[in-house]
Amino acid sequence: MADIVKIVVQATIAVIAFAAPAFAQSGDAARGQRIFRACAACHSLEPNRNMTGPSLAELWDRKAGGLASFPRYSTALKSSGVTWDDKSLDAWLTDPQHFIPGNQMTFPGIKDARQRADLLAFLKDATQPGHAPAASAQQGNQMGGMMGMGGGAVPNLKTLDPKDRVQSISHCRDTYRVTTTDGKTRDFWERNLRFKTDGGDDGPQKGSPAIVPAGMMGDRADIIFAAPGEISGFISSGC
């Protein structure tokens, strides 16, 4: 039974692969922009705006692992010898781990050749200088704003409402009490609060950490500081 399924799957893949060259020329950029939502949590199209992954601005003809402002490339990507063009990007997006084993992009790939062609048609234009669509369009239908989980959806933490700005944090037994600048206090089980930093343009002001809901259940949050040195000084102990 399993073998039959395997044969059918392989046959399907073969048909798609056979059809691929026909699609390669005729990607639909509008459809591709929607597919890019799968990338936008980790990749921006603005120059040097790096998130989990490097900015994809000016991607064509770039050496893999070659964006100087991105400090987190894997050795696998940097030493791959790949230069990004229509062909290498198609292979990469089909199956990143197969194309460059050991790279750190946690994305399984897009098996549908048509979808890849659409995505590449979009990217080829949108990665050119000055052609990136507005950030809100890039985020598409991802859960935007404060509920955003991916980097692409994080709000700018310098312009927050008082209710999202942390005034003080105290720790008592297994509980953090978080008071925001609107005067409200909320208790969190200590395992449900995470402390993070963002020293970049979207990060909070120094000494004024932000609180951002995390997860779907409403019981968790991230507190984001401007720098790691702020964290323990901000938290008082006592009940």
Residues that bind ligand HEC (CB under 6 A): 38-39, 41-43, 52-54, 56, 59, 62, 64-67, 73-74, 76-77, 84, 92-93, 103-107, 110
- Nearer to ligand HEC by Cβ, of 111 and 171: the residue is 111
Least distance in angstroms from the C-beta of 74 to ligand HEC: 3
- Nearer to ligand HEC by Cβ, of 59 and 153: the residue is 59
Strands 220-225 and 193-197: parallel
In this structure, are residues 182 and 162 in contact, taking their beta carbons and an 8 Å threshold?
yes
Least distance in angstroms from the C-beta of 6 to ligand HEC: 26
Separation of alpha carbons 192 and 214, rounded Å: 9
Least distance in angstroms from the C-beta of 70 to ligand HEC: 7
- Nearer to ligand HEC by Cβ, of 65 and 203: the residue is 65
53 φ, ψ to 5°? Answer: -115, 170
Least distance in angstroms from the C-beta of 62 to ligand HEC: 6
Tally: H helices and E strands in the chain: 9, 7
Could you tell me which residues come within 8 angstroms of residue 111 by beta carbon, excluding any fewer than 6 positions away?
Answer: 13, 16, 94, 95
- Nearer to ligand HEC by Cβ, of 74 and 181: the residue is 74
Q: Is 178 exposed, middle or buried (0-12, 13-18, 19+ CB in 10 A)?
A: buried
Least distance in angstroms from the C-beta of 217 to ligand HEC: 22
CA torsion sign for 13, 19, 23, 24 is positive
Least distance in angstroms from the C-beta of 89 to ligand HEC: 6
- Nearer to ligand HEC by Cβ, of 150 and 155: the residue is 150
Separation of alpha carbons 50 and 35, rounded Å: 20
- Nearer to ligand HEC by Cβ, of 162 and 200: the residue is 200
Could you tell me which residues come within 8 angstroms of residue 86 by beta carbon, excluding any fewer than 6 positions away?
Answer: 24, 120, 124
